[in-house]
Amino acid sequence: MADYKSGVADYKAIVTGGARGIGHAITSALLEAGGKVCFFDVSASEGEKAQKSFDEKYGSGKAVFLKCDVSKKNELHDAFHQAKSQMRGLNVVCNNAGVMVHTDESSHSDELISINLGGVINGSMLALELMGRGYGGNGGVIINTASLLGLSVIHPQAAIYSSTKAGIIHFTRCIAQTSPRDHGVRVNCICPHAVYTNMTTSLLNDTWEGRLKPAQEIADYMPKNDDEAREMYLKTTDISNEVMKLINDESKNGQVLAITKNPDDRTQVKVENVELK
């Protein structure tokens, strides 16, 4: 894992969706750098499993699991305040929790919107409140997890999911215009392409085993087996590495980072700040 310790200024972080996938990797990177992390997840079993692994690797008390459904505003509010109280401060918030459904999106629209977009918006507002200098905080940084699907039409069967991610991108860029001046808080977002996680492999397994039939133009670009998926898809640590760079670099604000595999060399990760008007 990359060494971020030279740039650390006492991380006290919240990571939503921190028990699994990208969130787990971000939590691990922050802990590796010597920080304290309160990580949220809707699944008690996954959260407790992650808590045990973090305790074994980094020592008890460095990571704290809080069960939280980010789609429920009151739960999110209470979890944020509890996290700041337990860590005696807060300077990093990674709004990462999100879902993608494998079936007809229309029957899950409320869930997709309330978790993916609502969770990020409400989490960001709480972060500004608790980290903002005007509210007694010391400033900090917010990293929102969007997706490459929020930047362009890649997967027409995921129109609602893609729209929530596009909303995250625009929301991030809007609040980044004033948050450093008004609150001392930088705001950036990441837009990864497909990442090899349990969520994406579940989708692939459903496709390979015939339970899910994507449109042909989508199927043509999907990996045909697990080995191909591992080659084509990003690793969770590819994402956490870029998140840590955004956290550490005080010049970065309003960034929209597209993170993909280099098409000419899949062993390399390509990162580009997307300039939007």
How many domains does the chain divide into?
Answer: 1
Instruction: Give the position of tokens 């969706």.
Output: 17
228, 162 Cβ separation under 8 angstroms: no
In a domain, 221, yes or no: no
Per-residue pLDDT tens over the stretch 10-33: 899 999 999 999 999 999 999 999
Q: Is residue 266 part of a domain?
A: yes
Percent of the chain with pLDDT over 70: 83
Who wins on pLDDT, 164 or 103?
164
Average pLDDT score, the chain? 88
Q: Which helix (H) or strand (E) holds 125?
A: helix 119-131
Q: Do 72 and 111 meet the contact criterion of CB atoms below 8 Å apart?
A: no
Give the model's pLDDT for residue 178. 97
Please identify which of the residues 4, 11, 58, 161 carries the catalytic annotation.
Answer: 161
Q: Residues 66-123: pLDDT tens digits? A: 999 999 999 999 999 999 999 999 999 999 999 987 667 788 899 999 999 999 999 9
* Confidence category of residue 221, pLDDT binned at 50, 70, 90: low
Spatial contact of 149 and 155, defined as CB atoms under 8 Å apart? yes
**Nearest of 140, 137, 132, 235 to residue 188 by alpha carbon:** 140
In a domain, 160, yes or no: yes
Q: Measuring CA to CA, which residue among 129, 142, 124 is closest to residue 183?
A: 129
pLDDT in tens, 113-161: 999 999 999 999 999 999 999 888 999 999 999 999 999 887 777 899 9
In a domain, 20, yes or no: yes
Predicted pLDDT of residue 265:
80
Identify whether 30 is part of a domain.
yes
For residue range 228-253, what is the model confidence (pLDDT) as tens digits? 656 768 999 999 999 999 999 999 99
Query: Is 161 labeled as catalytic in the residue annotation?
Result: yes
The CATH number linked to 186 is: 3.40.50.720
Domain enclosing residue 256, as ranges = 12-195+234-273
- 3 domain residue, yes or no: no
The pLDDT assigned to 8 comes to 37
Cβ atoms of 232 and 223 within 8 Å: the answer is yes
Is residue 174, in this structure, part of any structural domain at all?
A: yes
CA separation for the pair 144, 111 (Å, rounded): 18
C-alpha–C-alpha distance, residues 14 and 96, integer Å? 10
228 falls within a domain: no
Q: Rounded to an integer, what distance in angstroms lies between the CA atom of residue 70 and that of residue 67?
A: 10
